[in-house]
Amino acid sequence: MTVTTSSANKHQPAEPASGPLLEVKDLCVDYGFGDEAVHAVLDASLTLRHGEVFGLAGESGSGKSTLAYAISRLLRMPGVITGGEVTFRTPAGTVNLLNAGEAQLRDLRWTQLAVVVQSAMNALNPVMTIGTQLTDVLEAHRPGLNRTARRERAAGLLEMVGIAADRLGSYPHELSGGMRQRVMIAMALALEPQLMIMDEPTTALDVVTQREILEELTDLRERLGFAVLFITHDLSLLVEIADTIAVMYAGRLVESAPARELYSSPRHPYSYGLLHSFPGLHGPRERMTGIAGSPPDLRDLPSGCVFHPRCQYVMDRCRSSVPPLITPEADRRAGADRLVACWLHEPGALTPAELGRSES
Amino acid sequence: MPHKQPHKHMFQLPKSAKIRIGLVLALLFTLLAVIGPWLAPYNPNVSLSTTNPLPQPPSSHHWLGTTQVQQDVLSQLLVGGRSTILVSLIAGVIATFLAVGFGVAAGYYGGWLDDLLSMLANIFLVLPALPLLIVIFGFLSKSANPNDVLIGVVISITGWAFGARVLRAQTLSMRNRDYVTSARIIGERSWRIMAFEILPNLVPIVATSFLFTVIYGVGAYTALSFLGVISVAHWSWGTMLYWAQSAQAAQQVHIEWWWFLPPGLAVGLFGTSLALLNFGIDEFINPRLRAAGLSRRTARLAGLPRRVPLGLTPVAKSPAVSTSGQR
Amino acid sequence: MTALLEARGLTKHFRIRATRQNPRGSVVHAVDDVDLVVAAGGITAIVGESGSGKSTLARLLARLIKPTSGELLLDGKPATARGRSVRAYAKDVQLVLQDPFSSLNPVHDVSYHLARPLKVHKLAGNSLDQTIADLLARVSLTPASAFADKLPHELSGGQRQRVAIARALAVAPRLLLADEPVSMLDVSIRLGVLNLLADLRERDGLSIVYVTHDIASARYLADDVAVMYAGRIVESGPAASVTDAPAHPYTELLLSAAPDPDRAGAVSLRGKGAAPNLVTPPSGCRFHPRCPHAMRVCEEQVPAMTPVASGHVSACWLHALPGKEEQRTSADRPGRSA
């Protein structure tokens, strides 16, 4: 087993007797309806445990954001959920998010499940001070608090993310991009939710600010113990901060594995290619080949395995049938929690060496 | 959304009912402008009977009745229609040319040219249009018979400024787009950049501005004719209203509905058709307006609400076409 | 290798108009006193974050904007005359921009985009279509017939970027400036475009200046790397040397913050805080408010470029002042492992 040295992995994901925090089974999401429907997500399944950092990696059109917003029922029209189940475990009981009514969702949202949207720094209302925006959240969900208590709590939230409390009276344009992102995170944590869904939270920020915010996020996670569904295209970042990574391509989940294991021994040709598309900071400077071709148009998906036109190991079977998500033989024997959707890992198939490595 | 919806072709058949109505109406009016006077059953100036003192209501001889001097209202409408539509179109075209020239130049060059042209546009915006037109036509009417083109030109003087401001603002925002920068890097000359890089992207806005100006032209021309500033020998819908009103005032004759309703309705319908066309352009610019909400039928079939509030993504009752292999 | 393009003391200050809140107006010190040498046939990377002035520098090098002071030398001859010579300069130096979605005019097809530079510089010749097909082949958009009539929205981001590169190549420039050419592309496509740039250098001897915020891709593609911070170049040298043995504390900060799955230990950021406001930049060395090694002199004087290794220079008082280098213990160097 590899020794996980990244500070993010110190906090091991807990699994209380009641089970995982979020379970998604065969979720299907379309944009539009009938003949014109675009299948943005097809049969996605994942399991998120309490306190876990789950990374969802993919490029544009992979469906990662769609999946996250569908889970929380925040998808905009013309998005429609056309199948699957989403089960969310709250202290009060288990909720089927797809069946939940408006009142139930409102109860859950922000108290149990918070979302930090993409480019959240621009999600702050420019004509209200950040103090007002923070206390608004508290006012909506904690009617018991009076005004002073709300202000105190808002100040406490700001300090928690590393902003001086005297900035409560600032307007968003007076803060830098990094600080605004921190305010969004503080707002999301205002009611101490169990699950934070973060959609590309640091993509628009420069590298140093990104690193600072991620460090603070890790600290907060250790203190408050919430789980994070972290969506990004930057796989190299996820390897550093996530516990588990799921890779999506053209609406399908193609691989899911613990972060370190995905990095050292990817099973799916797409994951393999993707990991070899990030130039490294060390080692000899050699030519890398990446992945041929480009992500497909979702309105015109290839038959069979969606990745087959770009795959260097393509077989006839790949063109005609969609591979299911399975645990490869070797991983099952080793007890590793890995899933991959590829015919190369079918029992009896000839797996190329670079995709069949096992952890020593 | 995984992909932006592309405008595959410039012209797509409009889906919305209101745009189709607008298109049909506009085509009808264009037809009217071209062949109207030939269709007119009588000469609008001629009094068809000198003996009958009473205006005739609409009948099989006179579909829209007659005036109190026995002129056929329908003929007046058809003949006047050509003038009205022609004048407003000319005003629209000339004003749009001016707006494009001034607006795009001001937005692209900036600096002192922008200051100068903006000041000019502001002056013309602030000047009260109708009084100015009355004064100008006051001078002109003394001389020759006004013709439609001249009237159109004069009206356009007061109609270009608003479009110029809009186009200037749009050009300002486009000036910094990467493709304009790229054109400069290649070494394109400024006039080519304005004409071939910026202007083609402004076509929907220019079209909207044109339609608005035509509506303005109709209103201005009708008002001027109604006031009698423009020679009332020249038939237009406004002139019909003038005669209707003066008949009542001067001769104390009870004003009949078929004198003012047809021209009034005609002006209203013409303006409405242009406004509906404007909706069409809006939808063309913003494809999201096209797809807002599911159509009633598909929503009903799927058991989904027609308009969905944010935060309550619908879950369809019927499953999607799934090609999954099962676990 | 001879210097193809040289910048000496290049400076650009933008004036902000006076407003009511700001009665005297203000000046944004976007680029200050930059010296840069671009070798013929080589790839030079300019690495910096947003606000570092790297995009402004690229536009200065393209002569899209005029410098406040300083000079630009093409083949050793000053390139600051106006008028017709700007066009002649465009024949030698071209610029490719970052956003593939807006660098092509949505109303014109690919042929138009490629034909315009040929016509403007009178390079069209007899067979315009053939020249266009050749250009498309150079950027691996084959068969040309499949792409020539397409409108930009019908192409993917990577394809659009290739068209933008083909357009820049149409005039056969000797130097290609690329301002973050792959930042807005999908990860799996980035390598393809970077490899294309490398190929163009190998096959056609094209010199390239690659501006980016991603130091890893700079290390991958470039021969030389120059690191920019707050409008100034703080370090420059061979790519491997700068990224494996960074001399300037800002470069160390960048490397420690960059995503690195091979990192041996936990991340320890060297220096915190945010990039400075360029209207009122810090005095002396602009990095001093964030620098873990800041000294008194850093606040007072701008450090000069000091050689730290072969071809590798850094603008830091730690190198310029004798004895200060040793004060940085080995523990300060970011951990590196193969």
For B254-310, write each residue's pLDDT tens digit. 777 777 888 889 899 999 999 988 888 877 776 655 544 455 566 666 666 666 777
Residues 6+ apart with CB under 8 A from A11: A51, A221, A222, A225
Bridge partners of C179, per DSSP, are: C211
Least confident window among A187-196, B5-14, B110-119, C307-316: B5-14
The helix or strand, by DSSP H or E, that contains position C11, with its residue range, turns out to be: strand C3-16
DSSP 8-state symbol, A97: T
pLDDT tens per residue, range B67-76 = 777 778 888 8
CB nearest A324 (choices: B312, B313, B326): B326
What pLDDT, on the 0 to 100 scale, is given for residue A179?
86
CA distance C255 to chain B (A): 31
Chain C residues whose CB is inside 8 A of the B182 CB are 95, 97, 103-104, 164, 167
- What is the domain extent for residue C183? 3-15+28-331
Q: Do A31 and B322 touch (CB under 8 A)?
A: no
Q: Which of C183, C186, C194, C202 to mutate to test the interface with A (most CBs of A within 10 A)?
A: C186
- C139 pLDDT higher than 70: yes
DSSP bridge partners of A31: A38, A79
The helix (H) or strand (E) run that includes residue A319 is: helix A316-320
CA distance linking residue A118 with residue A266, whole number of Å? 28
The alpha-carbon gap from A261 to the nearest alpha carbon of chain C, in Å, equals 12
- What is the ipTM for the molecules in this complex? 0.83
In a domain, C337, yes or no: no
Give B288→chain A minimum CA distance, Å: 10
Kindly give the residue spans of alpha helices, DSSP state H, lying in chain B.
17-39, 73-109, 111-126, 129-142, 148-157, 161-175, 178-186, 190-192, 199-227, 237-251, 257-285, 287-290, 296-302
Check if C69 contacts B (Cβ < 8 Å).
no
Cβ distance B310 to A76 less than 8 Å, yes or no, reads: yes
CATH 3.40.50.300 in chain A, residues?
A: 19-249
- Which of chain B's residues have a Cβ under 8 Å away from the Cβ of A77? 292-294, 307-308
Domain housing B297: 17-302
Asked if residue B57 has a cis previous peptide bond (ω within 30° of 0), the answer is no
Report CB contact under 8 Å: B2, A28: no
CA distance A184 to A157: 11
The answer on pLDDT for C336 being more than 60 is: no
3-state SS assignment for residue C36: strand
For CA atoms C230, C236, C240, C243, the dihedral sign is negative
pLDDT of residue A307: 93
Q: What is the pLDDT of residues C28-39, one digit of tens each?
A: 999 999 999 998
Task: Judge whether A215 and C266 are in contact, CB under 8 Å.
Answer: no
Banded pLDDT at C142 (limits 50, 70, 90): confident
CATH number where B255 lies: 1.10.3720.10
Chain B residue numbers with beta carbons less than 8 Å from the beta carbon of A76 are: 310
**Chain A residues with beta carbon closer than 8 angstroms to that of B1:** 31
**Which chains sit next to C, with 3 or more Cβ pairs under 8 A?**
A, B
Residue with tokens 């009060």: A92
Greatest mean pLDDT among A349-358, B276-285, C117-126, C159-168: C159-168
> Helices marked H in B143-236 — which ranges?
148-157, 161-175, 178-186, 190-192, 199-227
- Say whether A207 and C49 touch across the interface (CB within 8 A): yes
Between chains, do C105 and B200 touch, taking CB under 8 Å as contact? yes
Closest CA to C251 of C224, C231, C233, C264: C233
Q: Please tell me the distance from the alpha carbon of residue C112 to that of residue A311, in angstroms, as a whole number.
A: 34
Chain C CB contacts of B199 below 8 Å? none
* DSSP secondary structure code for residue B193 in this structure: I
Give the angle C220-C170-C181 at the CA atoms, nearest 5°.
30
Is the residue at C154 inside a domain? yes
The DSSP bridge partners found for residue A80 are A30
Q: Is C102–B177 a contact, with Cβ atoms under 8 angstroms apart?
A: yes
Distance from CA of A25 to the nearest CA of B (A): 10
Contact of A40 with B3, CB cutoff 8 Å: no
Instruction: Please count the CA atoms within 13 angstroms of the CA of A141 that sit on its side-chain side.
Output: 22
In a domain, B7, yes or no: no
Instruction: Give which of A73, A125, A65 is closest to A248, Cα–Cα.
Output: A65
- Interface contact flag, B314 A102, Cβ < 8 Å: no
**What average pLDDT is seen over chain B?**
80
Would you give the DSSP letter of residue A138?
A: H
Specify the 3-state DSSP secondary structure of C207: strand
CATH number at residue C287: 3.40.50.300
Distance from CA of A73 to the nearest CA of B (A): 5
Average pLDDT over every residue of B10-27: 76
Q: Is A136 exposed, middle or buried (0-12, 13-18, 19+ CB in 10 A)?
A: middle
Tokens of B15: 């889906």
Nearest CB among C95, C98, C106 relative to B185 is that of C95
Distance from CA of C174 to the nearest CA of B (A): 14
Beta carbons of C258 and A287 less than 8 Å apart: no
- Let me know if residue C208 belongs to a domain: yes
Alpha-carbon span B14 to A71, nearest angstrom: 35
Q: Are the Cβ atoms of B315 and A321 closer than 8 angstroms?
A: no
Q: Tell whether C64 is within 8 A of chain B (Cβ).
A: yes
Q: Furthest-apart CA pair in chain C: how many Å?
A: 67
What Rg do the C-alpha atoms of chain A give, in angstroms?
Answer: 21
Which pairing describes strands A93-96 and A79-90: parallel, antiparallel, or unpaired?
A: antiparallel
Q: Is residue C21 part of a domain?
A: no
CB-based burial, B46-65: b 16+ in 10 Å, e otherwise: eebeeeeeebbebeeebebb
* Measured distance CA(A43)–CA(A166) in Å, rounded: 48
Q: What is the C-alpha to C-alpha distance for residues C236 and C47, in angstroms, rounded to an integer?
A: 10
The pair of structure tokens assigned to B194 is 């304005």
Helices (H), C39-127: 54-61, 84-92, 110-120
Q: Give residue C278's pLDDT.
A: 85
The whole-number pLDDT of residue A257 equals 93
Q: How far is CA B52 from the centre of its chain?
A: 41
What are residue A234's phi and psi, to 5 degrees?
Answer: -90, 90
**All chains having 3 or more CB pairs closer than 8 angstroms to chain B:** A, C
Nearest by CB to B325, which of A45, A105, A322? A322
Asked, for residue C103, whether it belongs to a domain, the answer is: yes
Residue C42: predicted pLDDT: 92
Residues 6+ apart with CB under 8 A from A333: none
DSSP β-ladder status, A195-199 and A227-232: parallel
Q: What is the DSSP string of C51-63?
A: TSSHHHHHHHHTT
Measured in degrees and rounded to the nearest 5, phi and psi for residue C238 equal -60, 145
Closest CA to B259 of B70, B84, B79, B88: B70
pLDDT for residue B298: 61
Q: Which residue of B has its CA nearest to A298?
A: B2
A-chain residues near C255 (CB < 8 A): 281
Question: Which residue of B308, B310, B322 is in closest CB contact with A42?
Answer: B322
Residue C195 confidence class, pLDDT cut points 50, 70, 90: very high
A87 phi, psi to nearest 5 deg = -115, 130
Determine, for residues B312 and A31 on separate chains, whether the beta-carbon distance falls below 8 Å: no
**Does the beta-carbon distance from C187 to A277 stay under 8 Å?**
yes
The answer to whether residue C44 scores a pLDDT higher than 90 is yes
- pLDDT tens digits, one per residue of C249-274: 999 999 988 888 887 666 777 667 77
CA–CA distance, B18 with B71 (Å, rounded to integer) = 36
Query: How many CB atoms are located within 10 Å of the residue A196 CB?
Result: 23
> Contact C164/B182, CB-based, under 8 Å?
yes
**Which neighbouring-strand residues pair with A113?**
A109, A195
**Angle (nearest 5°) at CA B27 between B21 and B32:** 125
Name the closest residue on chain C to residue A215, using Cα atoms. Answer: C267
Q: What is the pLDDT of residue B53?
A: 64
Span A19-249 CATH architecture: 3-Layer(aba) Sandwich (3.40)
Q: Tens digit of pLDDT per residue, chain A (360 long)?
A: 333 334 444 444 544 545 789 999 999 998 877 777 888 999 999 999 999 999 999 988 888 999 999 998 888 877 889 889 999 998 888 888 888 888 888 888 888 999 998 777 778 888 999 999 999 988 888 888 888 999 999 998 888 888 888 888 889 888 888 888 889 999 999 888 999 999 988 887 888 888 888 888 888 888 888 999 999 998 988 988 999 999 999 999 999 999 999 999 999 999 999 998 888 888 888 888 888 888 888 888 899 999 999 998 988 989 999 998 888 887 788 877 899 999 998 888 888 888 887 754
Question: For residue C202, is it within any domain?
Answer: yes
Give the bridge partners for B239, in sequence order: none
Minimal CA separation from B180 to chain C, in Å: 8
Highest mean pLDDT: which range of A4-8, C138-142, C208-212, C277-281: C208-212
- The region of weakest confidence among A167-181, A187-201, B89-103, C41-55 is A167-181
CB C140 within 8 A of CB C132: no
Size of interface A-C (CB pairs under 8 A): 119
Return the pLDDT at B317.
61
Q: How many domains does chain B have?
A: 1
Alpha carbon C51 to its chain's center: 13
Distances (CA, A) of A358 to A266, A334, C86: 9, 9, 60
Q: Indicate the pTM of the whole model.
A: 0.83
* Cα–Cα distance, B267 to B87 (Å, whole number): 13
Structure confidence at residue C173 (pLDDT):
92
Query: Which amino acid belongs to residue C333?
Result: R
The beta-carbon contacts of C25-29 under 8 Å, at least 24 apart in sequence, are C26/C279, C27/C279, C28/C278, C28/C279, C29/C231, C29/C278, C29/C279, C29/C281
Cβ separation of A297 and B3 shorter than 8 Å? yes
Distance from CA of B316 to the nearest CA of A (A): 5
Mutate which of A282, A300, A311 to test chain C, going by most C C-beta atoms within 10 A?
A: A282
Confidence class of residue B142 from pLDDT cuts 50, 70 and 90? low
| Structure token digits, residue C258 | 């960059």
Domain membership of residue B323 (yes or no) is no
Chain A contact set for B314 (CB, 8 A) = 80-81
E strands along chain A, which residues? 22-31, 38-48, 53-57, 79-90, 93-96, 113-116, 195-199, 227-232, 244-249, 252-258, 339-340
Number of domains forming the structure of chain C: 1
